Amino acid sequence: MRLQTLLIILISGLSVACAQNKLNNKKPNILFLLADDLGYGELGCYGQKVIQTPVLDGLAKEGMRFTDFYAGNAVCSPSRAVLLSGKHSGINTIRGNNGVFNDDRWMRVALKKDEITLGEMLKEVGYQTAFIGKWHVDDPNDLSTWAYARGFDYAVQEQWGSRFGGIDYDGDMHWINGKQDSVYYDQDEWDCKDEFRTEIAFRHLNKLDKNKPFFLFMSYRAPHGHERYIRNKELYADKGWNERERMHAAKITLLDKQIGRLMKKLDEMGELENTLILFSSDNGPHHEGHDPEFFESNGELSGIKRDLYEGGIRVPLIAYWKGKIKPATVTGHISGFQDIMPTLANVAGADIPEQTNGISILPVLTGKEQPKHKTMNWEFQLDGWNRKMPKGGFRQSARIDNWKAVRYGIHSETELYDLSKDIAESNNIADKHPDMVEKMNKLFEEGRTETDGFPYGGVVQDYKAKEKFQFDKNK
């Protein structure tokens, strides 16, 4: 009897030890946090003096802050397409919020089915994948292009209702796993939409298999101008600002609060120490009911959302990974959204998809020697919904080391700046460096591919919408 009892105890102990060992050897979790239209200068750790962001500032203090990190593009759809596919904007399928077809019809363009997404890549190597928030790289009429069909086991996304202009837009409706179910954001129940989305994340995290790693992509809303109402009326009410600016600042501080809640949740689950956290923004600050100069939203940079000057595309990147990333590290490594795919592949032990031209930044995160980009380039197409199309709405920029080139329209003169001396891009020195200008022009022409809906040079003629919409589809 004693022997039998002893065997049971030994077997039980071995089972517990094996289970614990399995947990200890589990691949790292990955949490990607994406703000919507957050400017380079809107966090305290990036120089903001008024808007309070203690959680993200603390995250930067305990992790790594990038000074020269770039979004995929200057507006949401093409920027997110770069992030999800690892293909920079010159070769990406999506180069604007809408593409033009038959010279007069603007419509949403989706990622192609053969383009691997972050969700598909990580799901393939055993990750529990989830996406919550704004997807915006789909054809709204084709569920096979939505997040749930593109590698995410669980997907809750807001949706624009029509590929041809989204007349039935309702950003408060959040669809679950395609259209299997839905949940509605009640403005009177939550301080802001980001609190609502964080609660959805909590419910999802509670259902996870603790023996498997997870990838959670939180596509937050702040401080996008289309969230025109938030319940919270107290934050910054004593400042005397107009309501639009008060609300802009409040949305950012409330976002910071939600990230703090999410980190606390991971800590309570015992998962925080084994989680790589990345925070960034999809493009520079907006001016949609908000004056970006009011809070110096782009810091010292020139340009805002839709610009390919630094203010439109240079964004924060904060990385935290306990025990792997040295606290209070600041790096000037030049990198961008296309680098996230190979980085997460390295972290997860996945094969890097051939489609990406990004370079993993895992070495710089872990203090090792880091390969560098020889060039970085961006291509952007404004769309024609209710706006004129100067110079075809076609914009390009490129960076080689500290040299930065910009041109708006293929027949325009190329501007050249030395970012080491002129981060504000205020002194065009193209006439003094013709060889570098020629090199940049060659990159503009050869560092790209053709793709449907985004012709080289853009749409030459102005486009007048045949229908009037109650909102600007581009936003």
pLDDT at residue 123, as a whole number: 98
> Angle formed by the axes of helices 76-85 and 340-348, to 10°?
30
| Radius of gyration for the chain, computed over Cα atoms and rounded to the nearest angstrom | 23
pLDDT at residue 163, as a whole number: 58
* Tokens of residue 88, six digits: 């920079």
pLDDT at residue 230, as a whole number: 95
* Tokens of residue 114, six digits: 């053969």
* Tokens of residue 312, six digits: 């439109």
pLDDT at residue 170, as a whole number: 65
Query: Sign of the CA dihedral 216, 227, 78, 359?
Result: negative
pLDDT at residue 417, as a whole number: 98
Distance (Å, whole) CA 15 – CA 19: 6
Q: Residue 226 burial by CB count (10 A; 0-12/13-18/19+): exposed, middle or buried?
A: middle
Count of residues for the chain? 475
pLDDT at residue 169, as a whole number: 55
Is 3.40.720.10 the CATH number for 27-374?
A: yes
- Per-residue pLDDT of the chain in tens (475 residues, 90 and over written 9): 454 554 444 444 444 434 444 445 789 999 999 999 999 999 999 999 999 999 999 999 999 999 999 999 999 999 999 999 999 999 999 999 999 888 778 899 999 999 999 999 999 999 999 999 999 999 999 999 999 999 999 999 998 765 555 444 567 899 999 999 999 999 999 999 999 999 999 999 999 999 999 999 999 999 999 888 999 999 999 999 999 999 999 999 999 999 999 999 999 999 999 999 999 999 999 999 899 999 999 999 999 999 999 999 999 999 999 999 999 999 999 999 999 999 999 999 999 999 999 999 999 999 999 999 999 999 999 987 767 777 889 999 999 999 999 999 999 999 999 999 999 999 999 999 999 999 999 999 999 999 999 999 986 454 444 333 333 333 3
Distance (Å, whole) CA 46 – CA 33: 17
Q: Please, which residues bridge with residue 331 across strands?
A: 66
Question: CB–CB of 457/408 below 8 Å?
Answer: no
**How many helices, marked H, and strands, marked E, lie in the chain?**
10, 18
pLDDT at residue 463, as a whole number: 42
Q: Residue 243 burial by CB count (10 A; 0-12/13-18/19+): exposed, middle or buried?
A: exposed
pLDDT at residue 25, as a whole number: 72
Beta carbons within 10 angstroms of residue 460's beta carbon: 14
